[in-house]
Structure formats: structure tokens, C-alpha cells
Structure 1
């Protein structure tokens, strides 16, 4: 198999994905904007050739890079970035060069929240009531039907960017004056609940071959809008209702040979599972590593084996709750780094700064830690994020 990996140097886990592809027997090529000398040594070792382009947003430059690889190496079997930002470009390249995977004619269904709901409904999964934000009169009619509060967000986007909770007419007035020109928005009912994800791998035959779940008790929207810190947990098992809804959604979307990351609300009042959105990529924010820590596995290797050989290995059994707790530079905390290591070093499996582009949601610095005791993991979160009063 010959695979082109787009932007292998960023995010940094691209190195792991390329390394495991190489180990699985694939010939891996890279296209990126970083100088070759700046690539990590393991990434250099995994790539048979790297083609640098000045502007990764320029489709013509990507086409020229692909032309180079095909002229030198022959037919390319796969093209991947595993990154939401490049979803449309990935699809365009696959379409232009007849490469298997998501094509341009389908990609709009994965980019626009307004189009996802039809697939969830087809799967028999309850969805959030939604209205395209065409004009204020239409939104007011939507509010008259479901009541305040509502959430307004870009129809296309991720990470809760430009997403706001609207609680009354005054908030709606404020949104009208600050909304971005040229951005299409949707209004959704506000769901009071936690987010449970369904993350995993689906093979060439459309079979889910691995799945895990993360639990977010905070609202990402609130974290972003208040510039606060974040915490979440990777669970050692998947809630049966999330599993059923997730599998139905994977089948409805017709996903093949992909990572998937599906977000559901679990309502606080009655524990209903309500679909939020689907992403055709690995879960972000160190969540791939959290899966590894919870299941004592290598999800990068499992993905690569699935792509190259349509096998993932396993079975993989969850054992640990893995927590993620970030800190923000502008917040004063009770316990410093050394105190955290002294108190919980035997449970901490990773800590590092976060890339600036992700820091608004993910924090400036973060820790990962695991335990078979969920209460202990929650206590570590509190210790890390204890704020000076």
C-alpha cells in the first residue's frame, strides 16, 4: 500500500500514525509546509519521501505534489490527514485521483451540522432540534416553539468556536451585533447534559472493530467562552445506549475504513441519549493517548493495521479511567507542578504544554493520569485545578 499523509508534522501525533503505517508495511509519503529538517526523526524514518509546499491551503500545490508522487512511485492507494480542517481537501484529492475513501460528493454531509441530523434520524437516534439561522424572524419563531435557552453555532466548524448560549432577547440582540459576516449559523435547543463520545475504528466492510468512550462533564462552549480550564475522562467501557446509538450512526453514514468520533448528550434529567455531531477523524485533545492508557493498547497501530491489512488485533479490554486536566496561564492555582507530581506522580502518565492553536479549549498545560478507581481520578482533577480564592 502506498499512502500519502497530509500534514504529518501537525498535530504532533501525525508522527505516531505515520510510524505505525510504516511498521505495518505501507510506503508512506508526506505533504506539508514544514522544512524537512524540522521533522521529528521518527517521522523522517517513517516517510519514504516528503514534499514540501509553501501553502497547504492551495489546492494546486497539493495537486502538483500528488502528481510528483504518482510520476515517481505509481498509483497512490490512500490519502489521509486525519484532521477535520482538511476534510474537504482530502475528499477532493480522493475524487480527482480515484482514491478510496470519502469523496467530494459526500463530504458536505460531514461538514455541516444541519445535514448530519438526517443521518442520525435514519439511524433511529434522537437528535437536537435545530433551525438554520437565516434571519431573526425565523429564529424567533423557533424560540417561540421550544423556548429559551438556545445555542447558536456555525453550521460548519469544530471546537465550540463562535458558539454562544442565548438565554433571552437581550442575548439574541447581542449575537445579532457580533455574528461574523459570511458565516452560516444554526440555532439549536439547549440540552442540559453531559457529553459522552463514541470513538473508534470501522473497517473496510463497515464493521466497528474497536470503540471507546469519553465523558465530558463540562461544556466546551463555556470553557471556550470563559477562557477556563478543561477536564474529561476516558472510560474503561462504553455505555450500552451510547454503543447502540453509535453503531447505528456509523451504519447510517456508511463509514468505511475510518476513525470516527461521535458526540452524544446524556440528559441530566432523564438520561436520554441525544446525538450532537459526528466527525470522521480520531478524537482530539490527547484522547487517542487516553484510549491507549485506558485499554493498554496502541490505537495508532490498530488504525494502521486496519488501513493496511483490514485487521486491528485485540481484543482490547478497558481497565483504567484516564483523566485529562488542563491549566490556564492566567489562572492562579493552589498546587504547583512539583506539588502535583509529589502527590499523584504514581498515577500521572503524561504531562506537557499544549500547542497555542488549541489552547483556548484545551488549556496551556495539561496532565493525564489513570486509576481503576473513578473517584481517585476525579480527586486528582480537583487537586490539579484547585484555584486560589
Structure 2
């Protein structure tokens, strides 16, 4: 298999996917804007050839790179980035070169929230009342139907960017006055609930070969808009209602040979499951590694073996809870990094800064923790997120000397 990986250097786990592809036996060809010398060693060892372009947003440069690869290596069998930002570019290249996978005639169904709804209806999973928000009259008509509060978000977008809760007429006026004219928005009824996910791999026949679920502790919209920290837990077992909804949605979208990341609302009052959106890519925010830790698998290799060899491993069973807790630089925390490690080092398996482009949602620094006891992880998250008293010195808690911590 000749596999072209677009942007293998970013995000950083692209190198893990490339490692898996090489081990599975693919001829691996990379396209990116980083200089070859700047690539991590594991990525250099995986790539059979790397083609540098100056602007990854310029389609013609990628088109020429594919032409070069075909001339040298023969037919290209797969073209992927595993990144939502490049969905349309991927679909264009696949269409122009007749490469397996999603083409231009289908990709908007995976990008636009308004287009996803037809597939949610087909699946039979509950959906949120929604309409396109193009003008004041349409917005007011919708609000008269569902009432305040409502949520507005870009029709095409991810990560809660430009997503807002609107609770009254003043906030609606502010949104309409400030929203970018070139961005299409949708308006949805506000749901009092939290996001749960159905994540995993579907093989070439559309069969689920790996599945997991992650439960968020906060609204990602609120995390982004209030610049707060966040936490989630990847669970070792999946609520049957989440599994049922996820499988119905996968069938409606006819997902094959792909990662899937399906976001659902679970209502606080009655735990009802409601379809939110689909992302045909690996989940972000370290969730791929959370799946590895919870299920004792190598999801990067499982995906590569599925793609290259159409391999079908026995579906893994969960063994651990895996939690994520982030910190924001502007928040003063009660316990510094060394105190966190001293108190909860027995469950912490990873800690490091977050790439700036992802920090609004994921935090500036994060901890990942694993345990068979969920209570231990909940206590660690509370400890990590505990904020310093208001009267403490006005410096970031992590900058204080160890002996000066409250």
C-alpha cells in the first residue's frame, strides 16, 4: 500500500500513526511544511519519502506533490491527515486522483452541522432543535419556538470555537452585531447536559473493531468562553445507551475504514442521549492515548493494521479509568506541580505543556491519570484544579517556591 500522510508532523501524535503504518508494511510518503531536519526521529524512520511544501493551504502545491509520488512510486492507495481541518483538501485530492475514501460529493455531510441532521434523523437517535441563523428575523422565530437560552455555533467548525450561549435579547443583539459576516452559524436549543463520546475504529466492512466512551466534566463551550480548565474520564465500559446511539449513527453515515469520534449529549435530568455531531477522525485532547491506557492497546497500530492489512483483532475490553485534568496559566492554583506529583504521582502517567494552538480548550498544561478506582482519579482532579485563596500573592501558583505554597 502506498500511503500519503498529509501533515505527519502536526499534531505530534501523527508520528505515532506513521510508526504504525510503517510497521504494518505500508510505503509511507509524507507531505508537510516543516523542514525535514525538524521532523522527530521516529517520523524520519517511518517515512520512505518526504515532500516539503511552503503553504499547506495552497491546493496546487499538494496536487503537484501527489503527482511526484505517483511518478516515482505508482498508484496512491490512501491519502489521510486524520485532522478535521484538512477534510476538504483530502476529499479534493481523493476525487482528483480517484483515491479510496471520502470524496468531494460527500465531505460536507461530515463538516456541516446542518447537514449532519439528516443522518441523525435516519439513525433514529434524538436530535436537538436547530435552524440556520442567517438573520435576526430567523433567530427570533426560532427563539419563540424553543425559548431562551439557545446556543449558536459555526455550521462548520470544531473545538467550541465561536460557540456561545445566548440567554436574553441583549446577548442576541450583541451576537448579531459582532458575528463575522463570512461565517455561517446555526442556532440550537440549549440542552442541560454534558458531552459523552463514542470513539473508536470501524473497519472496511463497517464493523466496530474498537470502541470507547469519554465523559466530560464541563461544557467545552464554557471552558473556551471563560478560559477555564477542564477534565474528562475515559471509561472502561460503555453505557449501552451510548453504544446503541453510536452504532446507529455509524450505520446512518456508512462509516468504513475510519476512526470515529461521535459527540452526544447526556441530559442531567433523565440521562437521555441526544446526537450532537460526528467527527470522522481520531478524538483530540489526548483521548487516543486515554483509550490506550484504559484498554491496554496501541490504537495507533490497531488503526494502521486495519487500514493496511484489513486486520480484525478481537475487540478489546476496558481495564482502567483514565482521567485528564488541565491547567490554565492565568489561574492561581493552590498546589504547584511538585506538590501534585507528590500527592498523586501513583496515578499520574503523563504530564506536559499543551501546544498553544490547542490551549484554549485543552489548557496550557495537563495531567493524564489511570486507575481502577474512579474515586482516586476524582480526588486527583480536585487537587489539581484547587485554586489558591483570593488573598494569596498575585503570582501564578506554579511559579512560587515549593516552600511558599499555601
TM score, norm. by length of structure 2:
0.95
Specify the alignment match of 1:164 in structure 2.
Answer: 164
For 2:70, the equivalent position in structure 1 comes to 70
Matches within 5 A, 1:349-364: 349-364=349-364
Which residue of 2 is the match for residue 316 of structure 1?
Answer: 316
Query: Do residues 54 (structure 1) and 54 (structure 2) align?
Result: yes
Aligned pairs for 1:15-34 within 5 A:
15-34=15-34
Whole-angstrom CA distance in 2 between matches of 1:260 and 1:92? 20
8 A contact 1:267–1:273 mirrored in 2: yes
Q: How many angstroms does 1:311 deviate by?
A: 1.6
Secondary structure in 2 matching 1:260: strand
CA distance in 2, matches of 1:310, 1:233: 30
Q: Distance in 2 between matches of 1:78 and 1:353?
A: 32
Post-superposition CA distance 1:23-76 (Å, at most 9, x none): 001111000000000000000000000000000000000000000000000001
Q: Calculate the TM-score normalised by the size of structure 1.
A: 0.99
Does structure 1 retain, via aligned residues, the 8 Å contact 2:234–2:294?
Answer: yes
Structure 1 SS opposite 2:82: coil
**Partner of 1:91 in structure 2?**
91
Aligned residue number for residue 131 of structure 2? 131
Residues 110-136 of structure 1: CA deviation (Å, up to 9, x unaligned):
110001011011010111110101211
Secondary structure, counterpart of 2:261 in structure 1: strand
TM-superposed CA distance for 1:374, in Å, is: 1.1
Q: After superposition, give the CA deviation of every residue in 1:310-357 in whole Å (9 maximum; x if it has no partner).
A: 124243110111000000111110111111111111111111100000
RMSD: 0.7
Structure 2: stretches of 5+ with no match in the other structure? 390-406
**Counterpart contact for 1:28–1:49, Cα < 8 Å:** yes
Structure 1 consecutive aligned stretches of length 4 or more whose deviation exceeds 4 Å? none
Instruction: State the secondary structure of the residue aligned to 1:105.
Output: coil
Q: Structure 2 CA distance, aligned partners of 1:379 and 1:128?
A: 34
Is the 2:209–2:315 Cα contact (8 Å) retained in structure 1?
no
Query: 2:152–2:185: 8 Å Cα contact kept in structure 1?
Result: yes
Q: What displacement does 1:217 show?
A: 2.0
Q: 1:350 to 1:314 in 2, by over 3 A?
A: farther
Distance 1:119 1:29 in 2: 34
Shift of the alpha carbon at 1:137?
0.7
Contact preservation (8 Å) 2:7, 2:30 = yes
Q: Structure 1: any 5+ residue segments left out of the alignment?
A: none
Q: Name the count of aligned residue pairs.
A: 389
Matched, 1:285 2:285: yes
